[in-house]
Amino acid sequence: MADYIVNKINKGDQLILACAGSGKSVLLISKCFKAARMNPDKQFLITCYNDNLRSLYTWFIDRAGLRAKNVTCVTFHSLCRNLLKKNGFHVGHDDFDGWVYSAIDKLNQGKIKERFYGIFIDEVQIFQPEWYK
């Protein structure tokens, strides 16, 4: 069944709900890798809330040889901070909420140009609804 789920990629939003330890993160990264290999000229993002999970994903990405190609993994707050910095906006030290709301504001104003072809979010239950919109 898992092979079917990984190999059946549909465009658009998808939500996977299951209990802890059921393999949601493995399924997420497998779908990301499959999409990244199918679209080598596109950029993909995996984001999560927890830095330990980000470290695990980064390890998987490195082993798959995709970091230098087209898959990036950062925590959500680091993503916001990086987007602001790359576009020349002020980034306060350890201002996590400020990074998020400033990045949302700048994205809505069209002042941040970076885009990803696919975004894979783990731990979405921890995210505020406005974060993933």
pLDDT tens for each residue of 75-118:
999 999 999 999 999 898 888 889 999 999 999 999 998 999 99
Look at the block and give the residue holding tokens 């679209």: 39
d(CA 15, CA 107): 24
For residues 6-29, average pLDDT: 73
Does the structure show a pLDDT above 50 at 4?
no
Q: What is the DSSP letter of 124?
A: G
Contact 120, 29 (CB under 8 A): yes
Does the structure show a pLDDT above 90 at 9?
no
Q: Which one-letter amino acid corresponds to residue 44?
A: F
Does the structure show a pLDDT above 70 at 3?
no
pLDDT recorded at residue 92: 86
pLDDT recorded at residue 129: 79
Does the structure show a pLDDT above 80 at 15?
no
d(CA 79, CA 12): 21
Does the structure show a pLDDT above 60 at 1?
no
Q: Which residues contact 38 (CB under 8 A, 6 or more apart)?
A: 9
Q: What is the DSSP letter of 118?
A: E
pLDDT band at 63 (very low <50, low <70, confident <90, very high): confident
The HSE-up count of residue 123 (CA atoms within 13 Å, CB side) is 15
Mean pLDDT of the chain: 85
pTM for the complete prediction? Answer: 0.82
Contact 33, 64 (CB under 8 A): yes
